[in-house]
Structure 1
């Protein structure tokens, strides 16, 4: 089954699906700054575009471009910001 997700007044949208390894989503982030919370470990791959991420326990933003990924532990929060529409794949493990 495909699920539709919408966050931050529609500025972040994704489609969710299940794989043998677990849940994943593919989505788009509009320009802006957003804070996300995690229930599970998340592996986020930027497909197209670019963003900056402020990961848990970090003091500096990290630049993430197309083809780069980062991981966020379960039960934490992280921030992302971007100036252009950015496509991503997020795997929940």
Structure 2
């Protein structure tokens, strides 16, 4: 997806890991929300409250879901799901990884 219509965007950025991960929240009329963000090179762990789908729209990353040891390579045009009350470690080796995070129903 390259654009969203009829949304409200929070101008204040969500900044994590000293600016190595930055996103903005997008609110939809139906009450759902997504975040659009950038991940710079590094390795970062995120916890989840609600289930999430992470779509990689540019760049690439490696992901390890909590409770597993498998390293999954995710490239632009693909996605991975994370269970609620869980988490994942994401690693960007070079370049910038761009993503859309959708918060899914529990």
**TM over 0.5, shorter chain:** yes
- List gaps (5 residues or longer) in structure 2: 1-7
Q: What is the RMSD of the two structures over their aligned residues, measured on CA atoms? A: 1.1
Structure 1 residues not aligned, in runs of 5+: none
Equivalent in the alignment of 1:72: 82
Match of 1:38 among 48, 56, 60: 48
TM-score, length-scaled by structure 1: 0.94
**Shift in Å, 1:21:** 6.0
Moved over 6 A (4+): none
Query: Which of the pair is proportionally richer in strand?
Result: 1
Rg bigger for which structure? Answer: 2
Which residue pairs with 2:71 in the alignment?
61
Aligned length: 93
Normalising by structure 2, report the TM-score.
0.83
